[in-house]
Amino acid sequence: MRTTVYLVGAGPGDPSLLTLGAAQLLSEADIIVYDALVSPAIRSYFSPTARLEYVGKRAGRHSMTQEEINALLVDLAQEGEGLKIVRLKGGDPFVFGRGGEEMATLHSHGIAYEIVPGVTAGIAAPAYCGIPVTQRELSRSVTLITASTQQGGLPQLDWGAYARLEGTLVFYMSMRAVPEIARELMEHGMPQEHRAAIIAHGTLPSQRLLSQSLKQFALSTEGYEAYSPGLFVVGDVVAWGQDFAWYRPGRLVGQRIVVTRSEAQASSLSERLEREGAEVHLLPTIAITPTEEWGQIDEAIAHLDEYDWLLLTSANAVRLFFERLSLLGRDARALAGLSIGVIGQATQSALRGYGLEADFIPSIYTAEVMARELAPRLSPGQRVLLPQSARSSGLLAEGLRAAGAVCTELDLYSPSPIEHDEEYIRSLISRGTSWITLCSSSAATNFLDLVHRYGLQEELHRCRLAVIGTVTAETITAAGYSVAALPAKASIEALVEEIVQKSLP
């Protein structure tokens, strides 16, 4: 099987606009080369085993030149046979994405390639503002224009031709040149009252629309670089944005939030925060390491018919238990005679992924409440199977035994700390950070260890901490820090809503 490089468009930002083809390739890729316009929500589609190569590019700030990226793609493709390499680019790779240059480079080196188009911002961002780039009797054409050269200046364009077009002009990479573009169009005959707009962060919850006349943009002394990445749209259709705008900004726009969940679990919280407009930064503090001692677990799976209840306290426990079940040649049918109890909506959702519904969920998502509320349902001598973290508090098993149950605890996995350097930690708990989220006691413990190791206690005291669960809150307060957000319900949805409410002016 030959190695193939896929030039893939990631779309304009909203992960729901990622194509099915792109999502499938990302989930299967051996190597992913991506840039700065690929959001964390889209990165959640990356294969967990893929090697990641970041080549982040933004106008005026290049971490790698295009020539270096071209050379990197060739080097990666020559590493071996049968590799699936995804070059992921914001928007569409062939609309000011320099995908043509990358394709030509691959072709010249005899490397197989395929193109997966993406939704381009020039069409999608105006649509999210209620602006149709073409409209009968109003705009007969749409013209996509780059407003940046390799040297960083405005290119030499036929401004007279653009000014005479009866259509919509969409300028990419234009935030540094908005007043100059407006002046050129006016000087070449476009009416000064012609409508124009800047669309920043199009299709994202942080989307902003600034609409005014061409003259107002031309005379402005405002620096529009703060709107990057943005588009400058000129045309009569811009006025439609006043009446037909439908996409509402999120409630956390302007909030910088650090998520400390394990990488495998971070996506659900990150995506919800991003949908509310937050700027999310990932700081995974725990890695989930499956056990190496499977003997007792395999024995329990072989005799599932001897148990009355299966209790699953986390999404990790669900995933690892069912993976082992499958590895042993069994599936959900093996659980036909058991009642299943879970703690939390995330655990319930993970269970549903295997086609099963929980028979019992406690009213409050803690081990103590589960033991107390499940006890009346248990008969003395009933057998309970409890696959869990090796660092479980033991409170659930203790409570079940007190109710007369025979409880078998299985250590499925261990949460282990992830190391980060001081510079990275310091940057994430700087004055610009609004919230730090901590979803488990182990995540909180590992995070606090990093803070104390680097002497960042004072900086952390200036941050607001949002946590899930009373045990996590106790870990934080015992270390001398205050908890700013603790939802009554221990769920991701409740945590996000609590942060929203506590962030309101």
Q: Catalogue the active-site residues.
A: 35, 57
Cβ proximity of 269 and 224 under 8 Å: no
Residue 407 token pair? 């409880």
Pick from 211, 216, 257, 219: nearest CA to 235: 211
Cβ proximity of 242 and 212 under 8 Å: no
Integer CA distances (angstroms), 5 to 66, 83, 294, 442, in order: 16, 8, 39, 40
Integer CA distances (angstroms), 416 to 276, 291, 388, 389, 447, in order: 30, 12, 15, 11, 12
Taking the C-alpha atoms of residue 380 and residue 9, their distance in angstroms, rounded to an integer, is: 59
Integer CA distances (angstroms), 101 to 10, 93, 96, in order: 18, 10, 11
Taking the C-alpha atoms of residue 417 and residue 262, their distance in angstroms, rounded to an integer, is: 10
* Residue 440 per-residue DSSP state: S
Match 């407006």 to its residue by tokens. 182
In this structure, what are the phi and psi dihedrals at residue 58, rounded to the nearest 5 degrees? -140, 155
Residue 432 token pair? 């610009």
Burial 365-402 (b: 16+ CB within 10 A, else e): bbbbbbbbbbeeebeeebebbbbbbebbeeebbebbee
Match 């650090």 to its residue by tokens. 258
Overall residue count recorded for the chain in this entry: 505
Q: Are strands 84-89 and 383-389 parallel, antiparallel or unpaired?
A: unpaired
Cβ proximity of 338 and 311 under 8 Å: no
Q: Classify the phi-psi angles of 11: left when phi > 0, otherwise alpha if psi is within -120 to 50, otherwise beta.
A: left
Residue 166 token pair? 């009866």
* Number of helical H runs and strand E runs in the chain: 20, 21
